[in-house]
Chains A and B, each alone.
Chain A
Amino acid sequence: MDDRRRNTGRQMLDEIEGDENTILIRRTLRSGQKFYYNGNVVVMGDVNPGAEVVATGNVIVMGQMRGMVHAGAEGDESATVMAFRLQPTQLRIANHITRPPDGEVADSSAPEIARIKNGVVTIENYPART
């Protein structure tokens, strides 16, 4: 009983990161607007084409991500980008740079997460469909 509680506690400490800064943007970022932050960024709105979000940590967009996004901008390969609709013109994590294939309309109909898996940027549904 005691042991289990201690385990849960330790596990939670791994999952809750309290030592990083997180900032909340309560609006849509429009073309020409660039946002840089040393930490995690949460956007409550859209990131429009021509706008940029750059974070040293994770980026979460509670709307449509259609601009340029760079997570882990100082090299953190464990950084992720999550969006309600992930259709970026370009997506970067650490020093990996990706873009949608030419001629393919970046379509997205569910929340997705981008992260580096086995050295490549991978995009999956979030939460993962079972």
Chain B
Amino acid sequence: MGEVIVVTSGKGGVGKTTTTANLGTGLAQLGYKVALVDADIGLRNLDVVLGLENRIVYDITDVTGGHCRLRQALIKDKRYEGLFLLPAAQTKDKTAVSPDQMKVLCGDLSQEFDYVIIDCPAGIEQGFRNAIAGADKAIVVTTPEVSAVRDADRIIGLLEAAELREPKLIINRVRQKMVAAGDMMNIDDIIDILAIDLLGVVPEDEMVIITTNRGEAVIQDDRSRSGMAFRNIVRRITGEQVPLLNLEEGGLFSKIRRFIGLK
């Protein structure tokens, strides 16, 4: 039985899809069988980020609606053997799938894959409810902005209420210079409010945008700092203890007490 992990945030545009694509790619690089599920129905874009848009025949609503078999809808990645995508529907809305259908779907996928990673839509409505319904674990993505952290806090409360205990945190788009100058929330401030375990910190990096536009994941780029951050997160997900990237001399992470894997 594989693990079903939902990547969520509350606030839009903080990096859920980017994270999902990179974690999936990274886990597949390590040889795991991974299914990525785009639960952002009506605004699908995980397929575009992975460069697989032109291969879509069936989507998630065809599977839950019984119009095709799960195997037919899964799209195999161009580069990695073990990586598959279940695309979202573009022309339907979030009510096209129910939480119960998602539970069944995730159960089926976890029979065949080591990791099932679900890209959650922004918001706290039906789309969010669907995305978390079949998950055993949750990753909350935030950026170092007050509004994103506030939404992350709201989401953590909702995850706890849905019995998805101990979600893990990824802080994305951190700009070291701004943090050092006191112009951006630092990691300690964020952890102080959210009080959940930190899975990793990803720096702001233009390579994310460059690789995404090519339909690639930045984790494939050996030299980029964000790629390195995602590789460390992947290793933590597989249960390894990896210290936090020291992104900045001078002890930005001085006070951090907690970082652990997802296991």
Q: Which residues of A contact B (CB under 8 A)?
A: 28-33, 46, 48-50, 66
Question: Which of A28, A30, A66 contacts B154 (CB under 8 A)?
Answer: A30
The CB with the most chain B CB atoms within 10 A, among A28, A30, A32, A33, is that of: A30
Q: Which residues of B contact A (CB under 8 A)?
A: 150-151, 153-154, 156-158, 160, 193, 195
In the assembled complex, which residues on chain B have CB atoms less than 8 Å from the CB atom of A29? 157
Compute how far the CA of A128 lies from the CA of B116 in the bound complex, rounded to whole angstroms: 55
SS of A interface (majority): loop
How distant is B143 from chain A, measured CB to nearest CB, in Å?
Answer: 16
In the assembled complex, which residues on chain B have CB atoms less than 8 Å from the CB atom of A50? 150, 153-154
- Are A33 and B193 neighbours in the complex by a CB distance under 8 Å? no
Question: Which of B156, B158, B193 contacts A49 (CB under 8 A)?
Answer: B193
Compute how far the CA of A30 lies from the CA of B150 in the bound complex, rounded to whole angstroms: 9
How distant is B168 from chain A, measured CB to nearest CB, in Å?
Answer: 16
Given A49-B150, A50-B150, A32:B157 Cβ within 8 A: yes
How distant is A82 from chain B, measured CB to nearest CB, in Å?
Answer: 20
Compute how far the CA of A66 lies from the CA of B150 in the bound complex, rounded to whole angstroms: 12
Compute how far the CA of A18 lies from the CA of B145 in the bound complex, rounded to whole angstroms: 45
Compute how far the CA of A58 lies from the CA of B160 in the bound complex, rounded to whole angstroms: 27
How distant is A105 from chain B, measured CB to nearest CB, in Å?
Answer: 12
- Are B154 and A32 neighbours in the complex by a CB distance under 8 Å? yes
- Are A31 and B195 neighbours in the complex by a CB distance under 8 Å? no
In the assembled complex, which residues on chain A have CB atoms less than 8 Å from the CB atom of B157? 29-33
Which residue of chain B lies nearest to A29 when distances are taken between CB atoms in the complex? Answer: B157
How distant is B181 from chain A, measured CB to nearest CB, in Å?
Answer: 17
In the assembled complex, which residues on chain A have CB atoms less than 8 Å from the CB atom of B195? 28, 46
In the A-B complex, list the 8 residue pairs whose CB atoms are closest, starting with the nearest. Answer: A30-B157, A31-B153, A32-B154, A31-B154, A30-B153, A31-B150, A48-B153, A33-B157
In the assembled complex, which residues on chain A have CB atoms less than 8 Å from the CB atom of B151? 31
Compute how far the CA of A32 lies from the CA of B157 in the bound complex, rounded to whole angstroms: 8
Compute how far the CA of A29 lies from the CA of B160 in the bound complex, rounded to whole angstroms: 11
Compute how far the CA of A67 lies from the CA of B151 in the bound complex, rounded to whole angstroms: 14
How distant is A89 from chain B, measured CB to nearest CB, in Å?
Answer: 11
Which residue of chain B lies nearest to A46 when distances are taken between CB atoms in the complex? Answer: B195
Which residue of chain B lies nearest to A50 when distances are taken between CB atoms in the complex? Answer: B150
Compute how far the CA of A30 lies from the CA of B156 in the bound complex, rounded to whole angstroms: 8
